[in-house]
Amino acid sequence: MKRAGVVALNTFREAVRDRVLYNLLLFALVMMAASIIAGQISIGIEETVIITLGLSAISLIGLLIAIFIGVGLVSKEMDKRTLYALLAKPVRRWEFLLGKFGGLALTLALNVAAMGVGLFLALVYVKPVFERGDLTVLIAVYFIWLKLALVVALALLFSCFTTPLLAILFTTGIYIVGLYVQELRNMPMQVMSPGMTLFTKWLSYLLPNFENFNIMAMAAHSRQVPGALIAQNTLYAAIYCTMVLTGAILVFSRRNLK
């Protein structure tokens, strides 16, 4: 497990030294500035506009990092063969995968936190006095990070058995479908065959429910988030990540390197 930590820290160092990451952060700051300007032209609802735009920007940029860097975590190492020297050392394949996941999750945590601070400063700019409900923004940022960790796990799983391009498509596809899991559950079952009904029901529980992590509306209206929801989402993300990473480990442990 200690070796997974060593791999994670190196993955984090790679992301920090990667200039693409800084460009995305710069983009985030531009988005924050844009949200302030948009807020100024939205009379009476500046706070709502800033929070909605800010959280959307954090989510979008985080997703780009999670999908593109997440897919490259393993595939890049295999393509460039940097993996060979490492796996010939006393490191197990699951330690390598866990380290890679942990490193990017840590990178995302810092990025999301940095972008969260940017959003917070934008809010301070338009609303000097804070209420307790305004803390919901921070919980919304935390939920975005949970969602991104889940996306990284999926990207890692797909990159273990398919090409980077397909892994990006699969991860993006699952993410998009995962936003509409609730709609899938609420589909009018009476118009479908019993087999289709059962399939849809199972599929809706099998797919990750990304909409669980979206509390943008609550944050925009400064509504407090129940503690149970925080615990439930944390547990859901942890269990789902564990399941997906276990699948990735099972695939990768049997994979022949080129």
Partner 1 sequence: MSAPAIETENLSKEYPHGFLNLKKRTSLERLSMQVEEGEIFGFIGPNGAGKSTTIKLLMRLIFPTAGSARILGKPISDIEMHRDVGYLPEQPYFYDYLTAAELLDYFARIHDLSAAQRKERVQTTLKKVGLETAGKIQLRKYSKGMLQRVGMAQAILHDPQLVILDEPMSGLDPVGRREARDIILDLRREGKTVMFSTHILSDAEMLCDRVGVIVGGKLRGVGTPGQLVDVTTQGMEILFELAGPCTAPLLAKATRTGDRYRLQVPETGLYDAIEQLRAAGAKILAVARVRATLEEFFMNLVEADRAQAAAVEVSGK
**Residues at the contact surface with partner 1, assessed by CB under 8 A:** 2-3, 6-7, 10, 13-14, 17-18, 80-82, 84-92, 254, 256-257
Contact call for residues 100 and 7 (beta carbons, < 8 A): yes
CB of 11 vs partner 1, minimal distance in Å: 10
CB of 74 vs partner 1, minimal distance in Å: 14
CB of 76 vs partner 1, minimal distance in Å: 10
Cβ proximity to partner 1: between 7 and 36 the closer is 7
Cβ proximity to partner 1: between 92 and 127 the closer is 92
Cβ proximity to partner 1: between 221 and 254 the closer is 254
Cβ proximity to partner 1: between 6 and 33 the closer is 6
CB of 7 vs partner 1, minimal distance in Å: 8
